Structures are given as C-alpha cells and as structure tokens.
C-alpha cells in the first residue's frame, strides 16, 4: 500500500490545532488564534483533496487503501491496529467534514468575534474535527468508537460553551449522558461481534461474512440491534433524540457543524460502513426503517409549532435524520448517504443563515419577534431561501434528488415499505410547511422586531448567544453580517442548489464498491415511469406545503392563532413536545437519582465504606484497650503469666513427645550420651 | 523395709525433690512482696535445676551434666551480683522494695 | 544408709524452702535459703559430685547468700507489708505451678517404671564419685572457651554491679 497518502495527517492536523489553541490560545492575539484555527483544518482539507486526486487517478478502478500505523491491542486472541481505511465512502465523508467544516470555521471567525472564549471555542472545534475524521477513517469498530466517544465529548464541550449559564451546562450534560446510553448499545454490539468473529476489523468481519453466506439472523440480529441503539443515540432518533433540541444552547456554528452536518450523521455512516452485518438481518433493517420513519414524522409534527428558530431547525434535523435511517432500513445505503451529503449542505446553510439572522438582530431567536428582514438582510435572505427550498425537496434543488431516492426505495420494499413511504410523504408535506412557515415568519411581512429589541435584556438572556448582545457596535440596529459570515452562506447555497445534480444513479455507482449496487429503476417493477410518478408526487406535496404555509403566514392574519385555539389539545401536545422530556425525567431520571442517592450514597458510602473504616479503627482501638490492661506494671501479674506460659509450653511439649507429635527430639535427648 | 530401697534411692526421688523445690520457688516468686525475697526464690529455682542436672549426670555417667551445673553456678553468682546492685538502685529511687509499688512501667 | 541421709537432707531442703515462703522478714528467708543450699551440697555429695558440693558451699552458701544478707541489712528492709496481693498471681499462677509440678512428676515416675529407653536407675552410696580429675579434664579441653568466657562474664558483672550500685555524684 502506498504510504504517501499520509492519511494520518487528516486527523492529526486538526488535533495539532486543538493543542496549539488549547494550550497557548489564551495568550495569543486573536488574529493568530484565528490563523491557527483556520490553517490546520485547511491543511487537513488539502490532504483530503490530494488523497482524492490520487485515489481517482488509479486505473482502471480506484481501490480502497488500508494503512496500518502499528499495533494497538495485542492481547491473546484479540488483535487491533491503528488502521485507517480510505474508500469512496470515507472519502465522501471526509470531503463533507473537512469542506463544510472549514466553511463553518470561516463563519465562526465572524460570528464568535466578540466572545471571551474565542480561543477555547476554536480549540474545541478543531478537537471535534480530529475525532470526526478518526471516526470515518477508522477501519475497526474500536477506533471508530474512539472517534464516536470523542465527538460526543467535543459536542459536550461545545454545547456547554457558555458554561456559566445553567441551561447550557445542563444541555451539555444531557447530550453526553444520552449519548452514553447509545454508546452502551454500541459497546454491547462490539462485545457480541468479538465473541462471534473474534475481531473488530471491518475487513476481517466482511471477509468472514462473505465466506459464510449461510450466516443469517440470530446473533447478527442481536449485534445489529445493539449497534442501532448506538446509532439512535448519536443520530438522535427515537428514543434517544431528546438531547438535540437542548443542544441548541451552544453557539449557532456548533449547531451547524455538529448537530446538522457531521456528528449526527455518524450513526448513518456507521450503518452504511458496516452494512454487511445489517444486510444479513432483515429484522434489524426493518427496525431501522420503522424507527427512521417514525422519528421523521414525530419530529416534523413538533417542529410545526416551535417558536425558536433554532428549535425548528433542530427538530428538522431529527426529522431528516429519520429519512436517512429510513433509507438505511430499506437497504438503500447509497440513497441514505446521498441524503446525508445534501442534508449537510442545506442544513448547515440553514443554521448558519439563522445564526446570521440572530447576529443581525442582536441575539433574538424568537420568530414571533422577527419579520420583514428581507430588505435588511438581503444576502442572508437569498441564501436561506435556497436552503428552505432545498429541504422542502423541490426540484432542482439538492434535497429533491436525495429525498426522492429514499422514498422511491422505500416504496419498493413490500407492504411495510409502502406504509413507510406514506409516512415519509406526510413528513415531506410537514417539512415543507414548517420550513416555509419559518421563512415567512422570519423574513417576510412586517417587522415585529421593534418589540423585541428593547426587551433584549429579558428574552435574550433566556437564549444562548447572549454575549452577542454585549458587543457594543451591535446594539439596536439590525444589520447584515460581515463577509466572513456571508461567504460560507453563499458557497453552501450554491451547493444546496447543485449538490444533487449528480443524481442517484451516478452517486450510487460511485458508492457501489462499498455498499453494493443501487437498484436501477428501469429494472424494477413499474420501471422508470414509477420513478417519475413518485418524484412528481413528492414535488406536488412540497408545493402543497408551501401553499398552506402561505395561507397561514404570508400576511398578517390570525388563521394560525384560530387553528391553535380550535385544536388546543393537539396544539398543546405539540408545543410541549409530547411531554417526552417530562416523561423521561419522571420515569427514568428521578428514580435513578433517588436510587443512587440512597443505595450508593447512603448504603454504599455511609454504611459500607465509612462503616467498614470505622469498624477497622474500632477493632484496633478495642484491642488496644484490652491489651493495655495486660501491661499493668504489676510485677507479680507479669511473673504469673510467665509461669503460666512456661507451664503451658511444658505441657504441650510433653504431651507432644508422648504422643509422638512435635518435640520427638526430646526422646533422643533423654537417651543420653 | 525393702532392702533394695535401703541401699538404693531411686533417682526419680531426687528429680521429684527438684521439681518440688522448683515449684516452691515459683510460688515464692509469685506471692512474695519484697523484691529481695523474690530474688531469693529465683535462686531457689536455679538450685532445684542444678539438682536435677546432677541427678541426670549421675544416672548416665555424663560429666557434661556436672560441667553444666558448674557454669550455672558461675552465671547465677554473676547474676546475683548484678541483680542486687539493681535492687539497691531501685531502693534508692523508689525508697521502697514493695513489688506492688514498683509499677512505673504501667501503660 | 543412703536412704536415711537422703531423707534427712531432703527434709532440710524442703523445710528450708517452705520456711522461706512462710517468713515475713527477708533476713529469715535468707537464712532459710542458706539451709537449703547446704542441704543441697550434701545431696550433691550423695550423688557423687564432690567438687560441686564444695563449690555449692563456697560459692552459693558462702558468697551469694552472704551478699544477700549484706544487702538486706544495708537496705534495712523491714517486714513485708500485708497488702491485698495480686489476684492474677493467684488465679493464673497457682494452677500453672500445679500443672508444672504434676507434669514433671508424672513424667519422672513413668520414666522410672515403664519407658524402656528412659529407665532410670537407682543411686547408691557406694557409687563412684566423679573426681575433680574427670571434671577438669572435660572442663579445660572441650569446654575451655565457655570457661574463659565465664570469667569475662564475671568481670562484666562486677563492673556492672559497681556501676549500678554506687551513689550518685561520687567519683
């Protein structure tokens, strides 16, 4: 294998950036911190680009690169190496991660310019890049798990970036703990894999499976389901999605990078990378598909009534991830990854544009206090429009191609598939609706911001980007963002437009060596015509959603309020997010806290640990008290004990000699000389 | 009287006498209240042991037994000298030789 | 003959020992101990240890006991006080002595009667004495080193006794 690819540089360069900014950043001037923070990811991007060039220049077919950097664990039958693996899938993911990541870094330079922890932010961001690239480059489950955990750590650090705010710190904890639950499933999956295959290397497991075509279901289903639990935690699916809305407490670029474009897609990536396990277990695939469709629908319904612009986008992310899971669940991995890529473009764009809006308004995030920003933030407006159309899935923007591919594949999978297709279609309707609702509320109509900016003291301090308000120049006047923030928006908008033009056939052909061939519509039942029909239906549904949003929100009217009061039951249910957070808190968190307090806290800590130390000390003291009496200073008692001891010794010696045990040498002495 | 007994005293009698003397010495060691008297009981014990050594030496025609008695006597003499010197200094510091009152080593 | 002599002098021994215990004034105890020492010397003679008998008289009765008597008179030790005594001594000590004595007696009597390898003989008056010649032959050849060391020991004891017993502040 050609070692000139220098794959190790791809994770290590951001890590170096993390070290430099983390250790020295506090004392460096801001310009230098920015230079370091941008330079290392850019260098990593260069290495990725170069690797891509080399990869694609191979004739006639690019072959995957497996580079081993030394043995990691060598314990008996368990062998694990630091192996990095480059193929079409990981190359694609690396492109997305480093490319979109770099754009977001540029954006952050402008967005976080007035923050105190500027250096800290960028060091964490670089740390995240390090772990994420490790995750996608890993060739075995354990190295991937290192990246998996690491991105969870970086996410915690970044969500809790404003650590002095309790809500932010709590959100960081929540994200980490819920991810941990998922990681537990991942660990169980790894243990089962080890017991079944004796190895955690993708390569070895893949070859093992191809050599055993008869191995189906059973243990593989168990493994797959455990891994799915992990994926649900990381990719915020039911039931472990609850951390993602709270994660909006972090700075907006963080939400864009981690909670839209990259970290949350780790679950989808993992399933696609190790699809050979899932392919053998139809049950697991169905579970994945059902979870995906259900989550998509569920999250979309919640997004309908949210008022915080970032919350809408958060639930939208959960919903779109549901689509990706659906795609994986119907074994259409190429479609899922295609959607992953296009979603990275438009969701990052949406988040960054929302950040631009928030920045322009001086920290306001409540959509009820926005409106009429179209003229005041023109670049933001046009780029966000591109993102909204893309996510709604309207041709020719990127979302259309990828979402349509998933829905098509779902439709093909028997009755369950058709049910899921309907669910996906309804979700598309809802998605279009709430995204255009957001669009109308934020940019069109008359400005309601007047009420807001005077109160930015109260309402804004309830939200995350409070420090923006402190920046003196940004007071009061609504203004467009600096070019450092707008340039990435423009680039991402262009990508949202043409990112899907590659088409699922070419995309699938690109990924085919990794995930298997994509089905050619021409060969399926219904043929190409069905494909066109379904695509048409999807576009119609999206436009329908737009129209409904138009009637409710385009001009100031109270149709939305009337509907809310008319259907107050469902409305309340949606506003309170189906009371899931409260449910979890009462059913899971409180009992565990109580159990921990009383079993570990009282029983374990007080009774057992303190008790046993007290007991040991007590025994020593007691013995001391007893034995002290012996040292009475009374000569006669000493002599008495002497005599007693001598008598006892004599007795036992004689008895022993007579009985033949011990002291038999006494007999020899008596024999004389 | 048994003629053999008239002429021949069994050595066990000597040994029992020795044991008896030793026990009396231990009793004196335990119940006497003056330091000097305790010391005298110790000398009594040593003598009892000497007697048994000599008895055995006679029984087995072993001269080494008597050598041992010789050395015990020497050491006992040395020990008596030193012990009495200690008793004198104890008397000087405590002004009493009552065993129960010399308990400075009490914990 | 041997029997009578043994009985008489064993009796003196025991009487002296018991008297040592019963007397309250240390000087009486010391004098009883001298009786015991002397009787033991005679017993040694009966056992054929002529040198030891004389050594007993000279060293023990003549030197050690005199030393005891001197110290008693020097310190002017009075009669023993009647204190309550040590309970421990009575509770633990006496049974111990009893055990001790009975074990030894049992072993000795058993040895006399039954145990073949340990059968002990009797002692006659006509038994040969162990002469000084035999004694010194062993003492000055096999036991030369211990003999010399004993003299060093006595020297040390003298020095120790002098150091311990002199009055403070005197040169």
- Alpha carbon of A617 to those of A604, A605, A622, A624, A644: distances in Å? 18, 17, 9, 11, 31
A653 in contact with C at a CB cutoff of 8 Å?
no
Question: Hey, which chains touch B, using 3+ CB pairs under 8 Å?
Answer: A, C
The predicted-structure confidence for C54-102, as pLDDT tens digits, reads as follows 999 999 999 999 999 999 999 887 777 666 666 777 787 788 888 888 8
- Mean pLDDT over residues A246-251, rounded? 89
- Mean pLDDT over residues B34-43, rounded? 93
Q: What is the length of chain B?
A: 107
Run of H or E residues at C96: helix C94-113
Residues of C in contact with A671 (CB under 8 A): 117-118
Under DSSP, the state recorded for A28 is S
Any bridge partners for residue A663, and if so which?
none
Interface contact A647-C104, CB threshold 8 A: no
Q: For tokens 């039911």, what's the residue?
A: A238
Q: Which of C80, C121, C160 sits opposite B59 (nearest CB)?
A: C121
How far is C171 from chain B, CA to nearest CA, in Å?
16
What mean pLDDT, rounded, does chain B reach?
A: 88
Interface contact A635-B60, CB threshold 8 A: no
The separation between CA A63 and the C-alpha centre of its own chain, rounded to angstroms, equals: 30
| Distance from C-alpha of B77 to C-alpha of A368, rounded to nearest angstrom | 114
**Torsion angle of C-alpha atoms A74, A76, A77, A81, degrees rounded to 10:** 0
pLDDT at A505 over 80: no
Closest chain A residue to B60, measured at CA: A672
Interface contact C88-A641, CB threshold 8 A: yes
Interface contact B77-C63, CB threshold 8 A: yes
Under the banding of pLDDT at 50, 70 and 90, the label for residue A663 is very low
Q: Report ipTM for this prediction.
A: 0.89
| Distance from C-alpha of A531 to C-alpha of A528, rounded to nearest angstrom | 5
- Mean pLDDT over residues A419-425, rounded? 90
Interface contact A628-B107, CB threshold 8 A: yes
Under the banding of pLDDT at 50, 70 and 90, the label for residue A227 is very high
| Distance from C-alpha of C11 to C-alpha of A429, rounded to nearest angstrom | 128
pLDDT at A384 over 60: yes
The upper half-sphere exposure of residue B106, i.e. CA atoms within 13 Å in the direction of its Cβ, equals 12
What mean pLDDT, rounded, does chain A reach?
A: 83
pLDDT at C36 over 50: yes
| Distance from C-alpha of C44 to C-alpha of B48, rounded to nearest angstrom | 12
How far is C10 from chain A, CA to nearest CA, in Å?
25
Residues of B in contact with A645 (CB under 8 A): none
Under DSSP, the state recorded for B101 is G
pLDDT at A471 over 70: no
pLDDT at A503 over 70: yes
Residues of B in contact with A628 (CB under 8 A): 107
Interface test with B, best of C20, C74, C169 (most B CBs within 10 A): C20
Under DSSP, the state recorded for C25 is S
Interface contact B80-C122, CB threshold 8 A: no
Q: For the whole prediction, is pTM greater than 0.80?
A: no
The string of DSSP letters for A437-471 reads HHHHHHHSSS--HHHHHHTHHHHHHTSS-THHHH-
Residues of A in contact with B103 (CB under 8 A): 632-635
pLDDT at position A206: 85
pLDDT at A208 over 90: no
Q: For tokens 């169905």, what's the residue?
A: A286
Assign A7 to helix, strand or coil: coil
Q: What is the largest CA-CA distance in chain C?
A: 64
Q: Which of residues 16-75 of B touch A (CB under 8 A)?
A: 26, 29-31, 38, 56, 59-60, 62, 64
Q: Are A645 and A630 in contact (CB under 8 A)?
A: no
The upper half-sphere exposure of residue A613, i.e. CA atoms within 13 Å in the direction of its Cβ, equals 5
Q: Are A15 and A127 in contact (CB under 8 A)?
A: yes
Backbone torsions φ then ψ of A140, nearest 5 degrees: -130, 160
Q: What is the largest CA-CA distance in chain B?
A: 61
Under the banding of pLDDT at 50, 70 and 90, the label for residue A456 is very low
- Alpha carbon of C15 to those of A3, B32, B38, C97, C101: distances in Å? 109, 17, 18, 19, 18
pLDDT at position C14: 95
Q: Are A167 and A460 in contact (CB under 8 A)?
A: no
Q: Which of residues 501-540 of A touch C (CB under 8 A)?
A: none
The separation between CA C170 and the C-alpha centre of its own chain, rounded to angstroms, equals: 35
Is residue A300 reached through a cis peptide bond, with omega within 30 degrees of 0 on the bond before it?
A: no
Residues of C in contact with A637 (CB under 8 A): 86, 88-89, 92
Handedness of CA A623, A628, A631, A634 (dihedral sign): negative
Under the banding of pLDDT at 50, 70 and 90, the label for residue A131 is very high
Handedness of CA A31, A32, A35, A36 (dihedral sign): negative
Handedness of CA A585, A586, A588, A594 (dihedral sign): positive
pLDDT at position A468: 46
Closest chain B residue to A628, measured at CA: B107
* Lowest mean pLDDT segment, chosen from A311-315, A568-572, B86-90: A568-572
For the beta carbon of residue C22, count every other beta carbon within 10 angstroms.
11
Under the banding of pLDDT at 50, 70 and 90, the label for residue A461 is very low
Q: Are A394 and A539 in contact (CB under 8 A)?
A: yes
pLDDT at A527 over 70: no
- Alpha carbon of C20 to those of A463, B61, B73, C85, C152: distances in Å? 103, 33, 20, 18, 33
Assign A75 to helix, strand or coil: strand
| Distance from C-alpha of A380 to C-alpha of A388, rounded to nearest angstrom | 12
Q: Crossing angle for the helix pair A141-159 and A219-234, nearest 10 degrees?
A: 20
Under DSSP, the state recorded for A480 is P
| Distance from C-alpha of A260 to C-alpha of A255, rounded to nearest angstrom | 6
Assign C29 to helix, strand or coil: helix
Any bridge partners for residue A81, and if so which?
A71
- Alpha carbon of A33 to those of A22, A28, A119, A302: distances in Å? 10, 6, 6, 40
Interface contact B32-C80, CB threshold 8 A: yes
C33 in contact with B at a CB cutoff of 8 Å?
yes
Under DSSP, the state recorded for C84 is -
The string of DSSP letters for A31-64 reads HHHHHHHHHHHHHHHHHHHHHHHHHHTSSSS---
Residue A232's nearest CA partner among A261, A266, A200 is A266
Q: Which of A631, A636, A673 sits opposite B30 (nearest CB)?
A: A636
- Mean pLDDT over residues A218-234, rounded? 89
| Distance from C-alpha of A217 to C-alpha of A219, rounded to nearest angstrom | 6
A588: Cβ contacts below 8 Å, ≥ 6 apart: none
Residue A183's nearest CA partner among A257, A134, A235 is A235
Q: For tokens 């499933």, what's the residue?
A: A185
Under DSSP, the state recorded for A610 is I
Assign A78 to helix, strand or coil: strand
* Lowest mean pLDDT segment, chosen from A96-100, A134-138, C126-130: C126-130
Interface contact C165-B88, CB threshold 8 A: yes
């Amino acid at each position: 294998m050609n070692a000139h690819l220098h794959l190790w540089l791809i994770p290590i360069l951001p890590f170096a950036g993390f070290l430099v900014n983390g250790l020295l950043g506090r004392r460096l001037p801001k310009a230098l911190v920015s230079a370091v923070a941008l330079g290392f990811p850019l260098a990593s991007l260069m290495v990725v680009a170069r690797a891509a060039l080399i990869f694609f220049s191979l004739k006639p077919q690019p072959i995957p690169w497996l580079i081993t950097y030394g043995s990691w664990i060598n314990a008996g039958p368990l062998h694990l190496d630091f192996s990095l693996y480059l193929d079409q899938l990981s190359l694609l993911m690396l492109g997305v991660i480093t490319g979109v990541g770099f754009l977001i870094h540029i954006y952050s330079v402008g967005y976080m310019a007035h923050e105190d922890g500027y250096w800290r932010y960028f060091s964490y961001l670089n740390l995240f890049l390090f772990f994420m690239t490790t995750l996608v480059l890993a060739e075995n489950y354990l190295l991937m798990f290192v990246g998996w955990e690491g991105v969870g750590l970086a996410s915690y650090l970044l969500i809790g970036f404003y650590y002095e705010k309790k809500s932010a710190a709590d959100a960081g904890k929540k994200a980490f703990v819920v991810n941990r639950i998922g990681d537990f499933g991942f660990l169980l999956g790894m243990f089962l894999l080890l017991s079944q295959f004796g190895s955690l290397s993708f390569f070895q497991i893949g070859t093992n499976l191809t050599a055993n075509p008869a191995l189906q279901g059973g243990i593989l289903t168990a493994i797959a389901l455990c891994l799915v639990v992990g994926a649900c935690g990381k990719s915020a699916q039911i039931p472990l999605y609850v951390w993602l809305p709270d994660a909006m407490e972090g700075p907006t670029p963080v939400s864009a990078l981690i909670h839209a474009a990259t970290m949350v897609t780790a679950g989808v990536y993992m399933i696609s990378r190790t699809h050979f396990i899932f392919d053998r277990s139809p049950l697991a695939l169905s579970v994945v598909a059902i979870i995906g469709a259900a989550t998509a629908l569920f999250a979309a319904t919640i997004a309908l009534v949210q008022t915080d612009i970032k919350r809408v986008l958060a639930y939208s992310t959960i919903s779109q991830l549901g689509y990706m899971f659906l795609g994986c669940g119907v074994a259409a991995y190429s479609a899922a990854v295609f959607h992953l890529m296009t979603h990275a473009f438009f969701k990052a764009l949406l988040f960054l544009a929302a950040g631009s809006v928030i920045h322009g308004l001086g920290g306001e995030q409540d959509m009820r206090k926005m409106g009429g920003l179209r003229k005041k933030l023109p670049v933001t407006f046009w780029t966000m429009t591109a993102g909204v159309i893309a996510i709604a899935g309207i041709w020719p923007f990127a979302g259309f191609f990828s979402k349509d591919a998933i829905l098509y594949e779902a439709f093909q999978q028997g009755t369950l598939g058709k049910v899921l297709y309907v669910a996906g279609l309804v979700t598309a309707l809802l998605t279009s609706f709430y995204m255009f609702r957001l669009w109308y509320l934020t940019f069109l109509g008359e400005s309601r911001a007047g009420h807001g900016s005077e109160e930015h003291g109260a309402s804004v301090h309830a939200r995350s980007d409070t420090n923006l308000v402190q920046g003196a120049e940004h007071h009061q006047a609504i203004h467009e963002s600096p070019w450092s923030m707008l340039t990435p928006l423009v680039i991402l908008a262009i990508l949202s437009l043409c990112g899907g033009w590659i088409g699922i056939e070419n995309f699938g052909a690109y990924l085919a060596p990794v995930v298997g061939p994509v089905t050619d519509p021409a060969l399926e039942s219904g043929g190409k015509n069905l494909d066109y029909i379904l695509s048409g239906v999807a576009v119609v549904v999206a436009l329908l959603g737009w129209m409904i949003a138009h009637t409710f929100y385009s001009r100031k009217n109270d149709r939305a309020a009337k509907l809310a009061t008319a259907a107050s039951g469902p409305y309340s249910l949606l506003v309170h997010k189906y009371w899931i957070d409260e449910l979890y808190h009462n059913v899971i968190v409180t009992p565990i806290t109580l159990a921990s307090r009383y079993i570990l806290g009282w029983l374990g800590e007080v009774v057992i640990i303190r008790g046993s130390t007290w007991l040991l000390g007590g025994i020593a003291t007691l013995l001391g008290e007893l034995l002290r009496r012996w040292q009475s200073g009374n000569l006669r008692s000493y002599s008495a004990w002497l005599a007693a001891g001598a008598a006892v010794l004599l007795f036992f010696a004689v008895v022993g000699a007579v009985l033949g045990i011990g002291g038999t040498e006494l007999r020899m002495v008596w024999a004389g000389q | 009287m048994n003629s053999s007994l008239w002429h021949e005293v069994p050595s066990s009698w000597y040994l029992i006498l020795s044991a008896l003397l030793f026990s009396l010495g231990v009793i004196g060691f335990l119940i006497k209240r003056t330091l000097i008297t305790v010391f005298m009981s110790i000398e009594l014990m040593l003598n009892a042991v000497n007697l048994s050594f000599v008895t055995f030496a006679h029984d087995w025609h072993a001269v080494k037994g008597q050598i041992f008695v010789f050395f015990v006597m020497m050491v006992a003499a040395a020990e008596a000298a030193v012990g009495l010197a200690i008793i004198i200094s104890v008397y000087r510091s405590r002004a009493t030789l009552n065993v129960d009152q010399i308990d400075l080593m009490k914990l | 003959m041997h029997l009578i002599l043994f009985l008489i002098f064993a009796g003196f021994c025991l009487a002296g020992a018991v008297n040592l215990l019963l007397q309250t004034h240390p000087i009486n105890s010391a004098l009883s101990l001298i009786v015991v020492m002397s009787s033991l010397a005679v017993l040694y003679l009966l056992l054929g240890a002529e040198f030891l008998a004389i050594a007993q008289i000279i060293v023990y009765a003549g030197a050690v006991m005199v030393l005891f008597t001197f110290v008693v008179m020097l310190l002017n030790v009075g009669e023993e006080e009647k204190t309550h005594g040590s309970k421990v001594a009575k509770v633990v000590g006496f049974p111990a002595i009893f055990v001790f004595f009975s074990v030894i007696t049992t072993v000795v009597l058993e040895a006399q009667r039954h145990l073949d390898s340990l059968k002990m003989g009797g002692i006659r008056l006509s038994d040969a004495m162990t002469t000084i010649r035999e004694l010194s032959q062993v003492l000055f050849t096999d036991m030369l080193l211990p003999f010399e060391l004993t003299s060093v020991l006595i020297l040390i004891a003298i020095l120790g006794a002098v150091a311990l017993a002199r009055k403070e502040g005197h040169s």
